[in-house]
């Protein structure tokens, strides 16, 4: 297989000697190739990343998290305020229209939130609005949201993943009809949907701007090709302007090509080692904190990052650095130190190491590198390679003592979607640390930022000190694009094409 890959790269390298005919700028059309087509263009009825990306282009949220500053700024709403921790009052922007000319008002907000939240409608992506128990109209341009319990990242959700549908149009065309011809308020409108082939989006000339601002490029064509090498061939032939999610090897090959720019874009996805500290999967050496610390010292995360990932950064806390609450200056850090790892193992009663099953589902090369590092201090890890769904199943069934997995936080820039998720005492929590859980619960039970930060800071310190998790590094995706294109990557794993422009 390696030989095949090498030959293929050699052939692609040969092909790279042909001069490119990168197009796009002349006709102001950006062609972006990605792997999957969403099964429907009804955003709330699918769970693909591509669908999430489209949600930022065809639709709008009430507020907007500024991608450069991280601040929440007015967007479809001009004001969002908490009447009390479980009641949110929203004032909507006037004068906004949907792509079909329908006026945006409180009815649209109430309809969208109520319709998506109704289990009878069987929407596949209900998660963004599940925390809202009631939405009611309080005026033509004002809405009140009522929550059953405090939801700390409410503003983050209302500024990213909660987008608004036009009530009249949706009711007219129905769930499936809307999925074939979506209408929103976003910076781009769907001009042509050819299932399985492409989605053509045209710039919304009547866009209100808001926090996102006007789109720069007139037309965006989204094409779907599953095979990365085919995507590369299309880029090199000039039929595409942007491709993404390339491997380090592919990115490096392409970077030597004139006419093509390659960038490694860091993402919010974090790789981690999760230890069964509580011993739910049976008694193993990992229930001993010194063993977990030893493993944390034994693995050279920086070496893996530099040699295998080619981008991203080493992560020391159980969250992504930009997420709200992801700070804990007193938390211990585990720099690569095999001697210390050996000493800790000896102290724990394992001077000659031990054998353990090690579960993983992606980046086999990363997993094998980690096994090599563990082997150097005497720990013989036996790799159990599985599909994601099978491994997640096994973790939740308390059958996994030690795993390497990743988490992207659903692009939510708040610790609630990662740390609080993995240490909340439910199925994905292998630590079952009551003290950590209490701190995270306290952080999630208030909307006071200072109070939240205080609790999260201590929780993160305890997680690191007790080595329940070894956060490894953030992931990087390689993007390759036409040299004519000015495109900036963002860590939320979302391709914000309305920000792209021609050089």
Partner 1 sequence: MLNFAMRRILMSILVAITVSIIAFFLVRVSGDVAIALAGEEASAEDISEIREIYGLDRPIIIQYVDWLGKAVQGDFGESLFFPETVWELVATRLPTTLRLALAGLVISLLIGIPFGVIAALRPNSWIDRLSMTIAVAGQAIPTFWMALMLMVLFGLMLGWTPISGDESWQHFILPAVTLGYYSTPPIMRLTRSGMLEVLSADYIRTAYAKGLHPAPVLFKHALRNAVIPVVALASVQFGHMLSGAIVIESVFAMQGIGYLAWESILRKDIAVIQTILLVVCLFYVFLTVLSDLLNAWLDPRIRVS
If the CB atoms of residues 12 and 343 are measured against partner 1, the closer one turns out to be 12
Region of 23-31, 124-132, 279-287, 340-348 interacting with partner 1 (CB under 8 A): 124-132
Q: What secondary structure letter does DSSP report for 97?
A: B
- Which helix or strand (DSSP H or E) is residue 208 part of? none
Residue 67 three-state SS: coil
Of positions 137, 248, 392, 501, contacts partner 1 by CB under 8 A: 392
* CA distance linking residue 4 with residue 11, whole number of Å: 11
Q: Which is nearer to partner 1, 13 or 351 (CB)?
A: 13
Nearer Cβ to partner 1, position 42 or 296?
42
How many helices, marked H, and strands, marked E, lie in the chain? 15, 18
Binding window for partner 1 (CB under 8 A); candidates: 86-94, 392-400, 470-478, 479-487: 392-400
Note whether 45 binds partner 1 by CB under 8 A: yes
When asked if residue 410 is in the footprint of partner 1 (CB under 8 A), the reply is: yes
- CA 59 centroid distance within chain: 19
Instruction: State how far the alpha carbon of 292 is from the alpha carbons of 44, 275, 341, in Å.
Output: 40, 7, 9
| CA dist 445 → 86, 152, 340, 425, 500 (Å) | 10, 7, 39, 16, 39
Q: Which residues in 149-306 belong to E strands, given as ranges?
A: 188-194, 198-203, 219-224, 242-246, 260-275
CB of 130 to partner 1, least distance (A): 7
Q: Is 277 helix (H, G, I), strand (E, B) or coil?
A: coil
Nearest to 244, CA basis, from 321, 322, 315, 311: 311
DSSP, res 372: H
Site for partner 1 contains 149 (CB under 8 A): no
427 binds partner 1 (CB under 8 A): yes
Q: Pick the piece of the chain touching partner 1 (CB under 8 A) from 236-244, 342-350, 377-385, 450-458.
A: 236-244
- Which tokens belong to 455? 């609790």
Check residue 130 for interaction with partner 1 (CB under 8 A). yes
Beta-carbon contacts of residue 354 (< 8 Å; ≥ 6 apart): 285, 378, 379, 380
Of 26, 68, 81, 119, the residue at the interface with partner 1 (CB under 8 A) is 119
| 387 contacts partner 1 (rule: CB under 8 A) | yes
Taking CB under 8 A as the rule, does residue 258 contact partner 1? no
Residue 389 binding partner 1, by CB under 8 A: yes
Nearer Cβ to partner 1 (227/283): 227
CA contacts within 13 A on the Cβ side of 7: 4
234 near partner 1 (CB under 8 A): yes
DSSP strand pairing (219-224 vs 29-34) = parallel
Residue 126 interacting with partner 1 (CB under 8 A): yes
Closer residue to partner 1 in complex, CB, 274/328: 274
148 is a site residue for partner 1 (CB under 8 A): no
Residue count of the chain, please give it.
503
Q: Report the residue number, 18 or 339, with the smaller CB distance to partner 1.
A: 18
CB atoms within 10 A of CB 331: 18
For residue 252, give the H/E element and its range. Answer: helix 248-255
Closest CA to 228 of 499, 480, 501: 480
- Give me the 161-190 binding string for partner 1, x by CB under 8 A, dash otherwise: --------------xx--x-----------
**Residue 11 binding partner 1, by CB under 8 A:** yes
φ and ψ of 79, to 5 deg: -150, 135
363 binds partner 1 (CB under 8 A): no
Decide if 279 contacts 326 (C-beta within 8 A).
Answer: no
CB-wise, 78 or 229, nearer to partner 1? 229
Q: Phi and psi dihedrals of 78, rounded to 5?
A: -95, -20
Out of 236, 326, 460, 485, the only residue in the binding site for partner 1 (CB under 8 A) is: 236
| Residue whose CB is less far from partner 1, 233 or 278 | 233
- With CB under 8 A as the contact rule, the residue among 23, 67, 124, 193 that binds partner 1 is 124
| Site for partner 1 contains 390 (CB under 8 A) | yes
82 interacts with partner 1 by CB under 8 A: no
Q: Which of 22, 30, 48, 291 binds partner 1 (CB under 8 A)?
A: 48
Instruction: Give the H/E segment covering residue 184.
Output: none
Q: Shortest distance, CB of residue 3 to partner 1, whole angstroms?
A: 10
Q: What residue has token string 């963002």?
A: 490
Binding residues for partner 1, per CB under 8 A?
4, 7-8, 11-12, 14-15, 18, 36, 39-40, 42, 45, 47-48, 119, 122, 124, 126-127, 130, 175-176, 179, 195-197, 224-227, 229-230, 233-234, 236-237, 239, 386-393, 396, 407-410, 421, 426-428
């Amino acid at each position: 297989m390696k030989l095949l890959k090498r030959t293929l790269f050699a052939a692609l390298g040969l092909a790279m000697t042909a001069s490119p005919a990168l197009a796009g700028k002349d006709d102001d059309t950006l062609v972006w190739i990605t792997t999957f087509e969403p099964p429907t263009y009804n955003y709330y009825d699918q769970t693909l990343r591509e669908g999430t990306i489209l949600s930022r282009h065809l639709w709008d949220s009430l507020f907007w998290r500024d991608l450069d500053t991280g601040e929440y700024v007015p967007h479809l709403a001009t004001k969002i305020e908490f009447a009390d921790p479980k009641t949110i009052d929203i004032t909507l922007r006037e004068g906004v229209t949907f792509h079909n000319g329908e006026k945006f008002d409180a009815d649209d907000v109430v309809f969208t939130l109520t319709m998506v939240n109704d289990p009878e409608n069987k929407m596949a992506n209900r998660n963004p609005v599940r925390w809202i128990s009631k939405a009611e109209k309080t005026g033509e341009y004002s809405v009140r949201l009522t929550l059953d319990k405090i939801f700390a990242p409410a503003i983050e959700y209302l500024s990213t993943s909660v987008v608004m549908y036009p009530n009249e149009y949706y009711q007219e065309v129905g769930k499936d009809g809307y999925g074939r011809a979506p209408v929103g308020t976003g910076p781009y409108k769907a001009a042509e949907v050819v299932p399985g082939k492409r989605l053509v989006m045209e710039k919304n000339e009547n866009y209100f701007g808001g926090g996102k601002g006007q789109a720069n490029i007139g037309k965006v064509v989204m094409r779907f090709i599953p095979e990365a090498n085919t995507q590369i061939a299309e880029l090199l032939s000039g039929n595409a302007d942007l491709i993404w999610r390339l491997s380090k090897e592919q990115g490096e090959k392409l970077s030597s090509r004139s006419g093509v720019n390659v960038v490694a874009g860091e993402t919010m996805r974090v790789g981690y080692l999760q230890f069964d500290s509580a011993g739910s999967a049976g008694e193993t050496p990992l229930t001993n904190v010194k063993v977990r610390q030893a493993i944390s010292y034994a693995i050279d995360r920086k070496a893996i990052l530099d040699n295998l990932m080619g981008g991203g950064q080493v992560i020391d806390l159980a969250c992504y650095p930009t997420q709200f609450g992801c700070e804990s200056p007193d938390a211990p850090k585990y720099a690569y130190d095999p001697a210390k790892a050996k000493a800790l193992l000896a102290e724990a009663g394992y001077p000659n190491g031990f054998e353990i099953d090690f579960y993983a589902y992606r980046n086999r090369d990363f997993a094998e590198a980690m096994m090599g590092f563990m082997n150097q201090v005497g720990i013989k890890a036996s790799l159990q390679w599985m599909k994601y769904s099978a491994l997640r199943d096994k973790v939740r069934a308390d059958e996994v003592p030690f795993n390497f997995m990743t988490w992207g936080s659903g692009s939510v820039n708040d610790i609630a979607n990662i740390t609080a998720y993995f240490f909340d005492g439910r199925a994905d929590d292998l630590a079952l640390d009551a003290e950590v859980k209490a701190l995270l619960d306290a952080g999630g039970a208030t909307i006071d930022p200072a109070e939240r930060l205080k609790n999260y800071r201590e929780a993160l310190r305890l997680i690191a000190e007790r080595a329940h998790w070894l956060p490894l590094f953030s992931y990087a995706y390689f993007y390759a694009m036409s040299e004519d294109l000015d495109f900036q990557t963002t860590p939320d794993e979302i391709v914000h094409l309305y920000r792209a422009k021609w050089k």
